[in-house]
Structures are given as C-alpha cells and as structure tokens.
C-alpha cells in the first residue's frame, strides 16, 4: 500500500490511456463493482498513474448494500471515505478551479455522492450512469483531488 508521503507521477502516455478508458466506458451502463463511480475513478487513476488504488476493496461487494458496507470500512460516508483514502494515497485536495484532465471530483449523483474523472475537455466530470458515462459540469462538483 502507498503511504501519504508517496508521490506518484503520471505516465508518459496517460492521455492516451485515459482516453481509451473513457472511450471503452462511454456506453457501458452503471454496474455495482464493475462500473460504479468508485471503480471508474480507480480505473482512471490507474490509467493515469499505472497504480491500482482499488486493491483493498475491489471484489468485496456486488450490490448497493455491499458497496455502502465497504465504504463504511473507510469512513461514515463516501465523501469522508474518499477524502481519507486520497490523503492516504498522496493525492491532495485541490480547488475545482484548478482541477484538470485526469483529476478526480466528487459530485451529487442519482444515488447521492458520486465520483468521476475530469474528461479530456477539462470542463466536465465523467461518471457512470444508467446508459453510460454522463457528464457533470466541473463547477457543479463539491470537491476535487489532484492525481499525480
């Protein structure tokens, strides 16, 4: 596991890797543990850095109830859990105004708080939805973290 002091850098080919991930998920519907907001954000971090932040929880749930129970192991709600994990992984919280492609943001989604990744336009956060990725305007998000 990475420590809070670990400094990850972006891979040289991260834009292509992130674009490939986004392209592959454009029409893939939301699915717990396979294409939910947390697994998508973790897959985006892996595309950008080459490191897998989902190591401790991927495969531990397959339903909404299971996802909520897993999140509870990390914090009282998704926002607190993500905040703690991003700090532990060494990804600092940043202002929404300076967030850029490949960074992670927290937004209000259909099921409550959700995560997404800043897309290639740098203005929209992409997150899994019922019919594929949906775009949330960055400035409608609540928090953001710098990935590498």
Helix axes 14-25, 37-49, angle to 10 degrees: 150
Q: Residue ranges per domain, the chain?
A: 14-145
Q: What CATH homologous superfamily does 14-145 map to?
A: endopeptidase domain like (from Nostoc punctiforme) (3.90.1720.10)
pLDDT band at 105; cut points 50, 70, 90: very high
Asked whether the predicted pLDDT for residue 3 surpasses 50, the reply is no
pLDDT at 57: 85
Q: Which residues contact 24 (CB under 8 A, 6 or more apart)?
A: none
Asked whether the predicted pLDDT for residue 96 surpasses 90, the reply is yes
Q: pTM for this structure?
A: 0.92
């Amino acid at each position: 596991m990475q420590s809070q002091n670990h400094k990850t850098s972006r891979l040289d080919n991260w834009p292509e890797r992130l674009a490939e991930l986004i392209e592959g998920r454009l029409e893939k519907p939301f699915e717990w543990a396979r294409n939910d907001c947390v697994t998508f954000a973790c897959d985006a971090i892996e595309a950008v850095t080459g490191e897998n932040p989902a190591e401790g929880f991927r495969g531990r749930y397959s339903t909404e109830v299971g996802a909520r129970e897993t999140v509870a192991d990390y914090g009282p709600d998704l926002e607190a859990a993500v905040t703690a994990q991003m700090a532990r992984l060494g990804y600092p919280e940043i202002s929404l105004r300076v967030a850029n492609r490949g960074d992670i943001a927290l937004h209000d989604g259909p099921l409550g708080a959700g995560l997404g990744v800043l897309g290639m336009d740098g203005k929209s956060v992409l997150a899994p939805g019922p019919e594929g990725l949906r775009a949330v305007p960055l400035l409608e998000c609540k928090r953001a973290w710098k990935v590498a």
